[in-house]
Structures are given as C-alpha cells and as structure tokens.
Amino acid sequence: MSSIVGIDQMTQQQASSTMQGSSIMGKDDFLRLLTIQLKYQDPMSPMNSEQFASQLAQYSQIEALNNINEGIATQTIVNQSMNNSFMINMIGKDVMSYGDIVTLNGEKTTLDFQLYADAASVKVRIFDDTGKEVSAFEAGALKGGDRKVTWDGMTKEGIKAADGTYTFTVEAFNKEGISVPVDTMNNGIVTGVVYEGGMPYLLVNGSYVSLGDIVSVNQAKKEE
C-alpha cells in the first residue's frame, strides 16, 4: 500500500487490514479507508484540502460506477423478461424466417424464397436428412421478389416421398446466365418456445428459429 500523507505506518497497516480478503475496492471499502485516514491523521501534518477533495472525487467515481453496474444488471433482467414474454406471445403466429427447412405432411408443400432480381431460370432441389437429393424440378422464369413454388411431394423416381423434414436449395440465373442471389425461407406456425444455452428459440415445423432470422410475423389463418 502506498504512503498516505498525514498518516503514520501503524495507521496505514490498520487501514490496509480493512481491504484483506478483497482484491477490488468497493465504495464501502473506500469510505471506510477514508474514515480511518481522517480519524488517525497526524494533527501536525494534516491532509491538505486538495488531497481530501481528490479522494472525495474518487469516492464519487466509485459510487457512480457501482450505480451504473447495478443499473446494467437490472436492465439486463428486465430485457430478458420482456424478451421471454414476447417469445411466448409468438406462439400460434405464422412466421417467415431465413432457413432451408421444408416439412412434407401430405400430398404437397410450399417452398418460399426471395429472388433479388428477375430470373430466366430457377431450379429447386430437395434433400433428405442424409444430404441425398430426393427431388429436383425447374420452376421456370420468375420475377424478383418473394416467390413461392410447390413441391408435389414426389421423388426423382416418381414415388411419394415419406412425410418428414427436408432441406432445399434454389439456383437462379438471369437471361445472360449470371447467377441471381437467392435467400431460402421457412414458413410455418410457431408451436412453442425452447431454451438452449440460455437462448430462446421459436419452434416452427419442428425446427428452432431465432428472433434474428425472422422476416415477418402474421396472424395464422383460420382453417375453414
């Protein structure tokens, strides 16, 4: 501990003992140290006003930093609570998100994607969970924007594909043969909220969707 003006060596040791067991000086430690310094200062060599003002300023800084830390911790808890409530309120909503998952449950299913320019040719490929190509078909020329195509649920061999989860890719080219950027999308109803690694995810078509991947949220259409 560095020398403190106006305090003898014995008093410095006593003040130092107040800090034992802690490597970080908190506001209570600082105030206790300052009180000891004032109590035991040498009357013949008192601490001057500039030093005292400097130490009070340090105390104010510690207090301010402590309040900031407490405020951040409180705000984090509030934000997490609001985020959890928001996620729960998403259950039952129809969401569109970035992703390449498609679920087949019946005769056919819709594939969503976004073209960033007009395309003269578009080809869609479907893969099973082993990465094997199950089906592929041409979607023809399509305008840029949000697009939908339908997979009839048939494999390349002409038989009905098993119901389940698949992935898909979309390849698009303009009339000059230049590749057109594409983002594949997932679309489905939120059926639940799951927490993994402390992070919340929406459960859509049996897959996890993070908030950052959501493109749009709509009220689910009622079945007639």
pLDDT, tens only, 86-95: 677 888 888 8
Q: What is the pLDDT of residue 148?
A: 92
Asked if residue 6 has pLDDT above 60, the reply is: no
Closest to 111 in 3D by CA, of 156, 152, 160, 151: 151
CA distance 95 to 146: 14
Q: What are 148's strand-pairing partners? A: 112
Asked if residue 7 has pLDDT above 50, the reply is: no
Asked if residue 210 has pLDDT above 80, the reply is: yes
CA distances from 190 to 86, 150, 156, 210, 217 (A): 13, 21, 31, 12, 10
CA distance 30 to 149: 68
